[in-house]
């Protein structure tokens, strides 16, 4: 291959890798200097203009304050220009160019065999999906799949288009019947939110009635809906305002926990026959030690149903797909096709080695220490800057710099949140600065900074430093709003470099031309083979890149371990039900509580359909079932009648209805029973403690005991009484303040430790409920902003479970009290603002500003002129930068648009909840 580019032998199109593009741009590299900040001294010319005209010249365009001095990235050079270009395009050579629908009509989604509405096909095309890949056609052509007669398990690489197969099957099922429903299960909230947006775009404006050629009967519920018979796509996850009601959706996109709860409810109330399809994405997580077993529970319950229901399970990291095929009694399909070929590299000691296959990597590394004739393809010169003395850091910065200057995007994975931020700051110091970008990019980055500044938490100072250079970081310490803004800007090309934690590799969909791994660790431990594949799989953006590139930067101490990691086979998935007794305990309790299995025969049939039954020894499995049933009776979760049938007790039903683990249910039941005897309702802390989930792994909760002690000193008499009832002792807090340890050796000690941790979390909830902004709470308790927001969202979901628990236990008064505080937690506000907080965009601080300006009701906001609302929204901005001219006008236009949304929301609320016809008569 020539140095000018790579020729695709099939298409005759010349492609340029980012390496080549960087080499072509090498002559254009230059040293960049920062521009002087706003507020600099006026020039002689400016003073002369003022003297001659009597008018002050226009103020200079505001710029960012000067940051740290600029750095120069190390150069990356070919070792030998005569060497073959490192771009091998192995997959492009292996797979023929993808044929089009003109060659194979089945590659068009409009083909009649897929049975999709024309409007749906048009929506797919509008989003860039006009044809499908041959492997997708082959997969969909599996026996009975399009007719919904068989289940499907399939595996395809990340970026290979695996989601489209599930979308086609799921939407086909939904469009077959006006009453049909589908559930799509995803492991992370961010993926749920992204998928909801995608599916809403896909089904936008499509009439199921028209597609089926049917007319809605009179009095049908849909006839009263504003969107009539269009599909309702609803997201269910912790912290969402939508309650898990079966009648509220046509397609539900859920986290694992919410999906299991939703299916339990539908089986219990006999509405489950409407369910036609369930999609299990990332199904390899079934052996996740913490929450994967819930996937097995929900899928096994579905296998026990006597109805037409299609289960579709998919993953990019399945090895023993045959086991899942046997378990789900379906068809299986595997492909290694990836539309964007990937080049893989190992970076070691400032040298870049090709690692496109495992064998070449092993050969390369095995010969490194013997100084053989194996040569790197490129070298990274050492840096003269002290900040870049570390060869791994120097390599990361140099590779990112090369990618950006070639005009492409880079995604960097770091081992920690602090590492993300440090990497982003260093990279921003070598990338061309704000004023050196083109005017359009300047404007978009300035707008991104404005949006972040206008968010409820204000602008992070490190993001303020990095974004002007097109660099940002993305980790769980940021709020949801910040992460969404950064992800959208990166996807649109406004940001060129995004640094993320390894743990978010599977939780974000941010493909890049080049993926750089700043070592292969997550914290102190090496990532697993599946996580490594997830990270590397982000390389290559369909429709934007001709090739994807991955660079794993490795230290000498990790070299052998990294070789083993990259050579390791993906682990086989297996059942986790028997790993801890409480899991099979929960499995049995759930099916008894929802009456799916109540006799010993039906329970045995249920257990025989689990994934566990496919691999476990039958004798051991039966023994585990016997032990678990006895334990459930001992804990008074179930009883046996005179006919030998099992029935859940009131406590057992309450635990299942509130989606609690049985062990957690015991703890919660004991705490609530004590609360019933002396519930402190003249304060807030007792109720808020009830909202905090019982923490299983206490090592993940960080308590600042100094803050805990200080907050205890400020508590009023009622909250101090609550402390006493809960068993929180000041003497223990004083001991912890002096460096003591909270004992967790016995079950009793661990239960007591839980109470301290829960009370500390409840202190944060108290501040949020009393309108303290998230960033202020984060500063006060020394927590990342995102962690505080996640705590609030988790507690919202847990609070909803507690209300169900109390309702099932017939503790109505306590349920009512908890329900009131749930509304306050959602709104982040005191009681007087709850009605205002129902309005879109009006929460917490914004609601208080509306109240203080005289808009104390939904009706007042609904009837206000939009221009009256803009000054109020201006007051609500946490840190509005001074802007000039068109920037100021653009900012005001955005606020006016926001005011329109608020006004429309207030009008809908007023008509729905507050306006009554008889009020006119009275």
Q: Which residues make Cβ contacts (< 8 Å) with residue 325, sequence separation at least 6?
A: 153, 331, 332
Q: Model confidence over 185-209: pLDDT tens digits? A: 999 888 898 899 999 999 988 877 6
Residues, the chain: 922
274-288, 614-628, 667-681: the lowest-pLDDT one = 667-681
How many other CB atoms are there within 10 angstroms of residue 146's CB atom? Answer: 17
The pLDDT score that the predictor gives to residue 878 is 63
Which residues face 525 on adjacent strands? 522
The pLDDT score that the predictor gives to residue 800 is 86
Per DSSP, the three-state class of 832 is helix
Distance separating alpha carbons of residues 353 and 355, to the nearest angstrom: 6
Which letter does DSSP use for residue 230 in this model? Answer: B
To which H or E segment does residue 234 belong?
strand 233-236
Helix, strand, coil % in the chain, rounded to nearest 5? 50, 10, 40
The pLDDT score that the predictor gives to residue 697 is 57
**Of 505, 539, 567, which residue constitutes the final position of a domain?**
567
DSSP secondary structure letters along 688-711: HHHHSPPPS-GGG----HHHHHHH
Residue 427 clears pLDDT 90, i.e. is over it: yes
Residue 31 clears pLDDT 80, i.e. is over it: no
In a domain, 136, yes or no: yes
For β-strands 233-236 and 251-254, DSSP reports them as: parallel
Tell whether 798 and 909 lie within a shared domain: no
Distance separating alpha carbons of residues 584 and 214, to the nearest angstrom: 45
Tell whether 313 and 373 lie within a shared domain: no
Distance separating alpha carbons of residues 614 and 914, to the nearest angstrom: 56
Residue 131's region, left for phi above 0, alpha for psi from -120 to 50, else beta, is beta
Distance separating alpha carbons of residues 450 and 881, to the nearest angstrom: 8
* Residue position matching structure tokens 């086991």: 323
DSSP secondary structure letters along 5-68: BEE-TTT--EE--HHHHHHHTGGG-----PPPPTTPPPPHHHHHHHHHHSSPPPPPPP-PPP-S
Residue 368 clears pLDDT 50, i.e. is over it: yes
Give the CB-side neighbour count of residue 518, counting CA atoms within 13 A: 32
DSSP secondary structure letters along 879-890: SPPP--HHHHHH
Which letter does DSSP use for residue 518 in this model? Answer: E
Q: Which of 629-636's residues contact partners 24+ apart within 8 Å by CB, and which partners? A: 629/588, 629/603, 631/581, 631/585, 632/585, 632/588, 632/589, 632/592, 632/662, 635/662, 635/666
The pLDDT score that the predictor gives to residue 49 is 42
Q: Model confidence over 440-481: pLDDT tens digits? A: 888 889 889 888 887 777 788 899 999 999 999 998 888 888
> Regarding predicted confidence, which is higher, 274 or 368?
274
The pLDDT score that the predictor gives to residue 85 is 42
Which residues face 499 on adjacent strands? 412, 473
- CA-closest candidate to residue 494, choices 522, 527, 467, 460: 467
Tell whether 813 and 858 lie within a shared domain: no
How many other CB atoms are there within 10 angstroms of residue 7's CB atom? Answer: 14
Distance separating alpha carbons of residues 708 and 342, to the nearest angstrom: 51
Tell whether 614 and 747 lie within a shared domain: no
Per DSSP, the three-state class of 865 is coil
Q: Model confidence over 249-301: pLDDT tens digits? A: 899 999 999 999 999 999 998 999 999 999 999 898 898 877 888 999 999 99
Q: Model confidence over 736-788: pLDDT tens digits? A: 988 888 888 888 888 888 889 999 999 999 999 888 888 889 999 988 888 89
> Regarding predicted confidence, which is higher, 319 or 556?
319
CB 311 within 8 A of CB 321: no
Buried b (16+ CB within 10 A) or exposed e, 469-503: bbbbbbbbbbbbbbbebbbebbeeebbbbbbbbbb
Strand ranges inside 748-815, DSSP E? none
In a domain, 806, yes or no: yes
Q: Which of 209-214's residues contact partners 24+ apart within 8 Å by CB, and which partners? A: 209/178, 211/117, 211/175, 212/175, 212/177, 212/178, 214/178
CATH classification of the domain holding 543? 3.40.50.300
The pLDDT score that the predictor gives to residue 400 is 94
Tell whether 327 and 369 lie within a shared domain: no
How many other CB atoms are there within 10 angstroms of residue 440's CB atom? Answer: 9
Tell whether 791 and 846 lie within a shared domain: no
- Percent of the chain past pLDDT 70, that is, above it, reads 80
**Of 828, 853, 868, which residue constitutes the final position of a domain?**
828
Q: Which two tokens stand for residue 901?
A: 């949304």
Distance separating alpha carbons of residues 262 and 590, to the nearest angstrom: 12
- Percent of the chain past pLDDT 90, that is, above it, reads 35
Tell whether 120 and 186 lie within a shared domain: yes
Tell whether 236 and 260 lie within a shared domain: yes
In a domain, 82, yes or no: no
CB 636 within 8 A of CB 649: yes
Residue 32 clears pLDDT 70, i.e. is over it: no
Instruction: Quote the longest CA-to-CA distance of the chain.
Output: 105
Domain hosting 149: range is 105-334
Residue 46 clears pLDDT 50, i.e. is over it: no
For β-strands 14-15 and 6-7, DSSP reports them as: antiparallel
Per DSSP, the three-state class of 907 is helix
Q: Which residues make Cβ contacts (< 8 Å) with residue 683, sequence separation at least 6?
A: 716, 718, 719, 721, 722
**Of 334, 366, 398, which residue constitutes the final position of a domain?**
334
Tally the domains of the chain.
Answer: 5
Tell whether 112 and 241 lie within a shared domain: yes
The pLDDT score that the predictor gives to residue 365 is 58
In a domain, 881, yes or no: yes
Q: Give the pLDDT band of residue 61 (cuts 50, 70, 90).
A: very low
Rounded to the nearest 5 degrees, what angle is found at the Cα of 26, between the Cα atoms of 23 and 27? 135
Residue 372 clears pLDDT 50, i.e. is over it: no
Prediction pTM value = 0.83
Q: Model confidence over 156-176: pLDDT tens digits? A: 988 788 899 999 999 999 999
The pLDDT score that the predictor gives to residue 579 is 67
Q: Which residues make Cβ contacts (< 8 Å) with residue 846, sequence separation at least 6?
A: 873, 876
Q: Give the pLDDT band of residue 51 (cuts 50, 70, 90).
A: very low
The pLDDT score that the predictor gives to residue 506 is 65
Q: Give the pLDDT band of residue 233 (cuts 50, 70, 90).
A: very high
In a domain, 72, yes or no: no
* Residue position matching structure tokens 């099979």: 584
The pLDDT score that the predictor gives to residue 918 is 41
Tell whether 116 and 252 lie within a shared domain: yes
The pLDDT score that the predictor gives to residue 259 is 94
In a domain, 303, yes or no: yes
The per-residue pLDDT of the chain, averaged, comes to 81
Rounded to the nearest 5 degrees, what angle is found at the Cα of 397, between the Cα atoms of 394 and 402? 120
Radius of gyration of the chain (CA): 30
Cα distances (Å, whole numbers) of residue 465 to 347, 445, 494, 538: 28, 12, 15, 26
Strand ranges inside 301-444, DSSP E? 310-315, 330-334, 342-348, 351-354, 378-380, 410-414
CATH classification of the domain holding 771? 1.10.3380.20
The pLDDT score that the predictor gives to residue 166 is 96
Tell whether 472 and 562 lie within a shared domain: yes
Give the mean pLDDT of 494-517: 82
91-105, 201-215, 234-248, 667-681: the lowest-pLDDT one = 91-105
- CA-closest candidate to residue 251, choices 278, 217, 288: 278
Give the mean pLDDT of 83-100: 40
Residue 799 clears pLDDT 90, i.e. is over it: no
In a domain, 670, yes or no: yes
CB 448 within 8 A of CB 484: no
The pLDDT score that the predictor gives to residue 226 is 42
Q: Which two tokens stand for residue 369?
A: 């220490």
Output phi, psi for 452, to 5 deg. Answer: -65, -40
Tell whether 743 and 811 lie within a shared domain: yes
Q: Which residues make Cβ contacts (< 8 Å) with residue 485, sequence separation at least 6?
A: 448, 451, 452, 455
Output phi, psi for 672, to 5 deg. Answer: -70, -35
In a domain, 48, yes or no: no
């Amino acid at each position: 291959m020539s140095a000018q580019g790579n020729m695709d032998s099939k298409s005759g199109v010349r492609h340029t890798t980012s390496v080549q593009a960087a080499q072509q741009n090498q002559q254009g590299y230059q040293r960049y200097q920062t521009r002087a900040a706003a507020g600099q001294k006026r020039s002689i010319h400016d003073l002369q203009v003022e003297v001659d005209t009597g008018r002050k010249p226009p103020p200079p365009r505001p710029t960012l304050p000067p940051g740290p001095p600029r750095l120069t990235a190390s150069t990356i050079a070919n070792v030998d220009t005569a060497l073959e270009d490192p771009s091998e395009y192995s997959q492009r050579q292996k797979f023929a160019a993808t044929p089009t629908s003109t060659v194979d009509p089945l590659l068009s989604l409009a083909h009649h065999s897929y049975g999709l509405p024309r409007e749906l096909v048009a929506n797919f095309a509008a989003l860039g999906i006009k044809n499908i890949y041959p492997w997708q056609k082959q997969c969909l052509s599996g026996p009975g799949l399009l007719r919904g007669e068989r289940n499907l398990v399939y595996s395809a690489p990340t970026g290979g288009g695996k989601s489209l197969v599930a979308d086609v099957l799921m939407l086909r099922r939904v469009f077959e019947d006006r009453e049909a429903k589908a559930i799509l299960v995803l492991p992370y909230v961010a993926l749920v939110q992204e998928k909801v947006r995608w599916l809403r775009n896909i089904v936008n404006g499509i009439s199921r009635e028209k597609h089926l050629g049917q007319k809605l009967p009179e009095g049908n519920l849909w006839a009263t809906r504003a969107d009539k018979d269009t599909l309702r796509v609803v997201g269910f996850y912790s912290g969402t305002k939508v309650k898990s009601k079966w009648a509220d959706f046509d397609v539900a996109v859920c986290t694992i926990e919410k999906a299991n709860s939703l299916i339990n409810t539908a089986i219990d109330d006999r509405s489950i026959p409407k369910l036609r399809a369930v999609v299990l994405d990332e199904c390899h997580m079934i052996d996740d030690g913490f929450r994967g077993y819930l996937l097995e529970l929900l899928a096994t319950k579905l296998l026990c149903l006597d109805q037409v229901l299609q289960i579709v399970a998919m993953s990019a990291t399945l090895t023993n797909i045959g086991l899942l095929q046997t378990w789900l009694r379906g068809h299986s399909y595997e492909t290694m096709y990836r539309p964007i070929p990937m080049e893989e590299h190992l970076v070691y000691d400032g040298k870049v080695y090709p690692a496109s296959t495992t064998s070449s990597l092993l050969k390369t590394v095995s010969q490194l220490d013997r100084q053989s004739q194996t040569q790197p393809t490129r070298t990274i010169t050492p840096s003269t800057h002290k900040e870049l003395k570390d060869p791994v850091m120097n390599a990361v910065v140099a590779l990112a710099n090369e990618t950006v200057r070639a005009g492409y995007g880079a995604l960097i994975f770091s081992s920690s949140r602090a590492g993300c931020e440090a990497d982003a700051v260093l990279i921003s110091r070598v990338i061309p600065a704000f004023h050196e970008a083109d005017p359009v990019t300047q404007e978009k980055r300035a707008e991104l900074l404005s949006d972040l500044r206008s968010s409820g938490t204000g602008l992070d100072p490190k993001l303020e430093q990095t974004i002007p250079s097109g660099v940002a970081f993305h980790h769980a310490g940021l709020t949801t709003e910040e992460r969404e803004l950064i992800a959208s800007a990166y996807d649109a090309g406004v940001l060129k470099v995004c640094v993320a934690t390894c743990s978010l590799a599977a939780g974000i969909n941010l493909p890049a031309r080049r993926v750089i791994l700043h070592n292969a660790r997550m914290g102190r431990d090496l990532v697993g083979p599946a996580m490594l594949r997830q990270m590397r799989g982000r390389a290559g953006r369909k429709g934007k890149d001709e090739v994807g590139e991955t660079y794993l930067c490795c230290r000498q101490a990790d070299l052998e371990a990294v070789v083993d990691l990259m050579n390791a086979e993906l682990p086989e998935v297996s059942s986790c039900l028997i790993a801890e007794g409480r899991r099979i305990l929960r499995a049995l309790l759930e099916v008894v509580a929802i009456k799916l299995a109540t006799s010993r025969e039906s329970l045995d049939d249920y257990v025989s359909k689990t994934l566990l039954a496919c691999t476990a020894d039958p004798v051991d499995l039966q023994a585990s079932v016997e032990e678990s049933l006895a334990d459930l009776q001992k804990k008074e979760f179930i009883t046996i009648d005179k006919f030998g049938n099992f029935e859940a007790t009131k406590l057992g039903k309450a635990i299942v209805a509130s989606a609690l683990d049985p062990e957690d249910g015991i703890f919660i039941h004991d705490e609530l029973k004590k609360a019933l005897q002396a519930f402190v309702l003249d304060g807030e802390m007792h109720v808020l403690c009830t909202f905090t989930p019982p923490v299983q792994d206490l090592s993940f909760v960080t308590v600042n005991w100094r803050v805990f002690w200080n907050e205890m000193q400020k508590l009023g008499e009622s909250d101090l009484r609550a402390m006493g009832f809960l068993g929180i002792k000041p003497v223990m807090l004083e001991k912890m303040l002096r460096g003591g340890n909270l004992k967790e050796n016995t079950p009793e000690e661990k239960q007591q430790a839980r109470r301290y941790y829960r009370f500390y979390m409840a202190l944060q909830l108290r501040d949020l409920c009393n309108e303290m902004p998230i960033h202020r709470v984060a500063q006060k308790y020394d927590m990342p902003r995102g962690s505080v927001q996640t705590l609030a969202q988790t507690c919202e979901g847990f609070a909803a479970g507690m209300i169900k628990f109390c309702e099932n236990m017939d503790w109505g008064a306590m349920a009512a009290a908890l329900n009131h505080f749930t509304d306050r937690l959602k709104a982040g506000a005191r009681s007087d603002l709850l009605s205002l907080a129902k309005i879109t965009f009006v929460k917490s601080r914004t609601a208080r500003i509306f109240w203080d300006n005289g808009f104390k009701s939904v009706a007042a906001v609904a009837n206000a002129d939009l221009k009256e609302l803009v000054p109020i929204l201006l007051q609500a901005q946490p840190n509005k930068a001074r802007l000039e001219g068109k920037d100021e006008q653009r900012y005001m236009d955005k606020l006016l648009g926001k005011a329109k949304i608020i006004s429309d929301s207030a009008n809908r609320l007023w008509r729905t909840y507050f306006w009554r016809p008889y009020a006119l008569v009275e």
